[in-house]
Amino acid sequence: MRQAQRPLSPGWVAGSVRARNMLARRLGWEQARALASAGSLANGISALAGGAYGRFVRPGLDLGGAQRGCARTALWHIRVLAGWLPPRALEPVRALVAWFELVNVEDRLAYLVGPARGGPLGPPFELGGLATVWPLIGSAQSAADVRRVLAGSRWGDPGADDPVTVGLGLRLAWGRRVIDDVPEAAAWASGAVGLLLARELLLSEREPSRLAARRPPGVGEVWERAADPPSLRRALPAQAGWSLAGIEVAADLWRGEAAWWRRVQRDAALLARDPHLGRPAVVGSITLLAVDAWRVAAALACAARGGTGTFEEIA
């Protein structure tokens, strides 16, 4: 006999309903495809005016600023949603949105030690109560300060304070957090780590032993001798190797990333439609908001190139 579903708290019910309602704020695939054919970035930005993305994607922005505005839109929706959720639901949400904090940390580090150090610093993603180490990192005055704050947090010690090492450490730590805190998204995180390993091993030619020392999550321990995407896929657990399916050469890893987003969208749509209001519906809805923001950003890139590109292959 099937065990009875535990009654949900009013906070879970309200948050789940709100999450599903927020999905109406997405642009959607058809409108994104039309946006990709807008002919110019200015036309693309104008097409977003009056909709949800018009809050942060405004005339006069360059492509990078407009794409960042897409991400800010998704984060804003998620923060609104978080206000409807019970306190115990915030940890999985915090793990999912840690990507925005990751970008903030990388931006701060670039400001401190990058080629353009000391130059203009754009506004960070505002995380509010969903932050883990921000704004402590935002006031860091050296790369050593950044590493120290990370080491004392759930992000963990990245192993050094140079931007490349910190960036790799943050991505692996994010994957680990999602696997640990959001079981519904564990296969997505493992697949993303598989793609990251492929890029580091096969494109950046990073020493396998150095990667292994960082203990990449969700990928097992027999991948170090992989020489190409097929051999790496065979060496990875199924939960991670799926992201490399059909990829024969390292130059085509971008196709794996596009396929990763499509798989995430399909899985998230199923979660969002879960008949039991609660965690799956919230995780699925948050993820679909992020997928839509990624797709709109890709469409703007196509529009900025005059409507040329391979939007259908990417999105």
Q: Answer whether 300's CB lies under 8 Å from 70's CB.
A: yes
Quote the tokens at residue 227: 């020489």
Asked whether residue 9 carries a pLDDT value surpassing 90, the answer given is no
Reported as a pLDDT band with limits 50, 70 and 90, residue 2 is very low
Reported as a pLDDT band with limits 50, 70 and 90, residue 102 is very high
Q: Answer whether 236's CB lies under 8 Å from 186's CB.
A: no
For the ranges 15-29, 87-101, 262-276, 299-313, which has the lowest average pLDDT? 299-313
Say what the alpha-carbon torsion angle 250, 157, 119, 73 is, to the nearest 10 degrees: 70
C-alpha to C-alpha distance for 266 and 287, rounded to whole angstroms: 10
Which residues touch 308 (CB under 8 Å, ≥6 apart)? 302
C-alpha to C-alpha distance for 315 and 199, rounded to whole angstroms: 20
C-alpha to C-alpha distance for 15 and 21, rounded to whole angstroms: 10
The three-state DSSP-derived secondary structure of the chain is CCCCCCCCCHHHHHHHHHHHHHHHHCCCHHHHHHHHCCCCHHHHHHHHCCCHHHHCCCCCCCHHHHHHHHHHHHHHHHHHHHCCCCHHHHHHHHHHCHHHHHHHHHHHHHHHHCCCCCCCCCCCCCCHHHCCCCCCHHHCCCHHHHHHHHHCCCCCCCCCCCHHHHHHHHHHHHHHHHHHHCHHHHHHHHHHHHHHHHHHHHHCCCCHHHHHHCCCCCCCCCCCCCCCHHHHHHHCCHHHHHHHCCCCCHHHHHHHHHHHHHHHHHHHHHHHCCCCCCHHHHHHHHHHHHHHHHHHHHHHHHHHCCCCCCHHHHC
pTM higher than 0.85: yes
Give the model's pLDDT for residue 5.
53
- Which of the two residues, 87 and 151, has the higher pLDDT score? 151
Reported as a pLDDT band with limits 50, 70 and 90, residue 3 is very low
Peptide bond into 59 cis (omega under 30): no
Tell me the pLDDT tens digit for each residue of 110-151: 999 977 676 777 899 999 999 999 999 999 999 999 999 999
Tell me the pLDDT tens digit for each residue of 176-210: 999 999 999 999 999 999 999 999 999 999 999 88
C-alpha to C-alpha distance for 6 and 288, rounded to whole angstroms: 26
Domain boundaries, the chain: 10-18+25-314
C-alpha to C-alpha distance for 41 and 304, rounded to whole angstroms: 4
For tokens 């296969």, name the residue. 187
